[in-house]
Amino acid sequence: MPDHQADTNETLAAGPGMVVAFHYDLYDAQGQKIETSKNGNPVLCLHGERGVLLALQDAFVGKVRGDDLSVTIPHQKAYGRRYPERQQRVSRKKIDGGRQQTFHPGQLITLRGEHGPSPATIIKAGKFNVDVDVNHPLAGVDLTFDVQIVSVRRASAEERAHGHAHGVGGHQH
């Protein structure tokens, strides 16, 4: 049996060295749905690695295929607080495709910087400059995840070496 296939003879619980496949609905503190994974493939999480909030991974420990859970994560353990000083004015030429784009408030964009690309949200757009907020879009938001565990399996040696789970057909990087 290939190393990335699910174990079929035993029930495995989430924890270190395991890959959890899950679907989720994400809500803010007012109960408004922010996003869902149910329109695509399940999200894969190699326990203990980046890519999925650590507070959410902690809630997975001991869970098995078929489990449902609801997890509320305060903003401090999610994407942190919102910092007002992280709003800035940038030249359109520092935005990927910025000279040709029409921007609108609330739009998510990618800025080019000395440390690589970084996400930002448009506050106001002008002819030569754009006012942006470089806080994570969910900074300052308490989050509730309604989760369905689709599968739990042992991570392959390759996944552990790469530091992330691989989907069907191997890795996509």
Q: pLDDT per position in the chain (173 positions), as tens?
A: 344 444 455 789 998 989 999 999 999 999 999 999 999 999 999 988 878 999 999 999 999 999 999 999 999 999 999 999 999 998 887 776 666 788 899 998 887 777 777 788 999 998 888 999 999 889 999 999 999 999 999 988 888 888 778 876 444 44
Q: Where in the chain is the domain with CATH 2.40.10.330?
A: 84-133
Whole-angstrom Cα distance, residue 133 to residue 85?
A: 9
- Contact indicator for 16, 48 with CB cutoff of 8 Å: yes
In this predicted structure, what is the pLDDT of residue 48?
83
In this predicted structure, what is the pLDDT of residue 170?
47
Task: Indicate the burial class of 95 (C-beta count within 10 angstroms; 0-12, 13-18, 19 or more).
Answer: buried
Q: Where in the chain is the domain with CATH 3.10.50.40?
A: 18-79+139-162
pTM for this prediction: 0.77
Q: Which of 56, 19, 59 is nearest to 162 (CA)?
A: 19
What CATH number labels 84-133? 2.40.10.330
In this predicted structure, what is the pLDDT of residue 98?
64
In this predicted structure, what is the pLDDT of residue 74?
97
Task: Indicate the burial class of 69 (C-beta count within 10 angstroms; 0-12, 13-18, 19 or more).
Answer: middle
Q: Which of 65, 20, 23, 56 is nearest to 41 (CA)?
A: 23
Task: Indicate the burial class of 145 (C-beta count within 10 angstroms; 0-12, 13-18, 19 or more).
Answer: buried
Fold for 18-79+139-162, please state it: Chitinase A; domain 3 (3.10.50)
